[in-house]
Structure 1
Amino acid sequence: MTDRATQEHAEESNMIKDPDNWVTGDEPMTGAQRSYLHPLAEEAHVEVEDDLTKAEASKKIDELKDETGRGR
């Protein structure tokens, strides 16, 4: 569980990394990413490829969350 102070300063820390800099970013997206990405894509009325990398899926999830207004 993350405490409030940690959450408030997360943007300033190294906890949040750019997906382009992930060591495992080139690996296939995870099952959790897939199960979250596809409903978001449906809601946004866009198609998403099933062969995205972890980094690509993460960026697409963020993009679709912004587009749909979810989670932000």
Structure 2
Amino acid sequence: MSDADQNQPDTLGGERPDPSTTASKDPEQWVTGDEPMTGPQRSYLDTLAREAGEELSADLTKAEASEHIERLQEKTGRGASS
């Protein structure tokens, strides 16, 4: 684990900046979907969770993070309408 990973909180939803990210494929089709979520996913999910009044585990896979991002975008109105 890198020094940056060791300094990450155990939950998401605290106060931090808001970078955004989008998924181009269904997370279930990702070859790397079972790897830990990326830094941009973590940061954006943290913002969305805070805005939605939710706390999520910080120990999510890329696929799980993407699914939560999609759900929370709808809940908070941040996502693009389909």
| One-letter amino acid matched to 1:52 | L
**Whose helix proportion is higher, 1 or 2?**
1
Distance 1:70 1:32 in 2: 16
Q: Give SS of 1:24's match.
A: coil
| TM-score, normalised with respect to structure 1 | 0.76
RMSD: 0.8
Identity, in percent, stands at: 65
Please tell me whether Structure 1 or Structure 2 has the larger radius of gyration of its CA atoms. Answer: 1
Say how many residue pairs are matched: 57
Structure 1 stretches of 4+ moved >3 Å: none
Unaligned runs of 5+ in 2: 1-23
Q: Give SS of 2:58's match.
A: coil
**Whose strand proportion is higher, 1 or 2?**
2
